[in-house]
Amino acid sequence: DAGVTQSPTHLIKTRGQQVTLRCSPISGHKSVSWYQQVLGQGPQFIFQYYEKEERGRGNFPDRFSARQFPNYSSELNVNALLLGDSALYLCASSARLVTYEQYFGPGTRLTVT
Amino acid sequence: GEDVEQSLFLSVREGDSSVINCTYTDSSSTYLYWYKQEPGAGLQLLTYIFSNMDMKQDQRLTVLLNKKDKHLSLRIADTQTGDSAIYFCAVPSGGYNKLIFGAGTRLAVHP
């Protein structure tokens, strides 16, 4: 089975623009979580979605939003991009809402200029 | 809130053992995790330990947990150049799927 996939791999945007990142979880997994990893730091939790509902939100501004589709894939949207949004955005999938096993995708590298 | 701290850098000789340390603040954590990140890649789940265990061994990896001191360590035996990566300690917060990560320990393995 394929692992977690994310698209695009790399993205360059200008300040003020909007961006949409995509994630496909492992087949059969119903939970998707999003993390932001700024260079030199550990990942920070942004959102968790399970069965198309938001189940957790980290300390991020309202410019960040997400949704999950009936096939359990997910999109992360960031509006009004700032230079500080430049980071690796990681998606993690798991089979259940609460589980000890999460599997991460390769990430999307976003650069804001 | 939960805080996880790690030393930032470790350099070892090939064939030696590596020990990466982590301290955390939330004593209610049920599982504690070690992830590995290679350059330009996502996170790979290396191993995890349940909070009622003191030690877990998995091939070359040994995880030690000291709940009293809230200290977690990862030992890699016979360290190889392919082990060069950043290692993250992670602790769940507010539910198993929300993980709090340390800043990562960069392991450099030299001949």
Residue B9 confidence (pLDDT): 96
Q: Is B97 within 8 Å of A101 when comparing Cβ atoms?
A: no
The total of other beta-carbon atoms located within 10 Å of residue A68's CB is: 23
Alpha carbon of A80: minimum distance to chain B alpha carbons (Å):
26
Assign B96 a pLDDT band (cuts: 50, 70, 90): low
Residue A9 confidence (pLDDT): 96
Residue A1 confidence (pLDDT): 59
Using a CB-CB cut-off of 8 Å, the residues of chain B touching A4 are 42
| Beta-sheet strands, E only, within chain A | 5-7, 10-13, 19-24, 31-37, 44-50, 53-57, 64-68, 74-78, 87-94, 103-104, 108-112
Using a CB-CB cut-off of 8 Å, the residues of chain A touching B36 are none
- Among the partner-chain residues A41, A104, A105, the one whose CB lies closest to the CB of B103 is A41
pLDDT at B83 over 70: yes
Q: Is B98 within 8 Å of A45 when comparing Cβ atoms?
A: yes
Using a CB-CB cut-off of 8 Å, the residues of chain A touching B103 are 40-42
What is the separation of C-alpha B3 from the centre of its chain, rounded to a whole number of angstroms?
14
**Mutation for B interface: A24, A93, A100, A103, most B CBs within 10 A:** A100
* pLDDT tens figures, A60-96: 999 999 999 999 999 999 999 999 999 999 999 998 7
pLDDT at B44 over 90: yes
Q: Is residue B73 helix, strand or coil?
A: strand
pLDDT at B95 over 70: no
* pLDDT tens figures, A34-44: 999 999 899 99
